[in-house]
Amino acid sequence: MREIALADELDIRRTLAAYCQHLDDADFGALAHQFTADGSIMFEDRNGATGRAEIEAWFAESYTPERRGRHLTVNTIIDLEGDRATVRSDFAFLGFQDGDLRPLFVGRYHDDFVRDEGRWLIRQRIAVFLPPP
């Protein structure tokens, strides 16, 4: 049983990494497929998208070439319960500012994962930004 849980955690971590790499590479179609067909993403209470087509379109519109950089996901805690998982991860976005790569945003992802289509996918992601002190 422990081996199954470890394999599930590794698969979830792979989805988290694929999300970041597809986003950074502007492969928004592949990024949308890290979500379930009816998956959703929300950035605090401000905006977001639901469903793969809407997620792909939202990222294509929002992450224009001048806004791109590198996304990092760290400090991941995964709580498995059968074919569902609650996942909390810290994130940082490194972007260019005045020609230098700098951390521009940090926060925490609140994710609900499900095993779907034979792999672990994001059902719901809420990104909460770290507020200034």
Q: Where are the domains of the chain?
A: 2-129
pLDDT at site 44: 80
Q: Which amino acid is at 95?
A: G
Cβ count within 10 A of residue 12: 23
> What is the maximum alpha-carbon separation in the chain?
51
Fold adopted by 2-129:
Nuclear Transport Factor 2; Chain: A, (3.10.450)
88 DSSP β-pair partners: 77, 110
Tell me the pTM: 0.93
Q: What pLDDT, on the 0 to 100 scale, is given for residue 1?
A: 56
pLDDT at 67: 85
Q: What is the identity of the amino acid at 91?
A: F
Average pLDDT for consecutive 10-residue bins of the chain (133 residues)?
Answer: 83 98 98 98 87 97 89 97 97 92 94 96 96 84
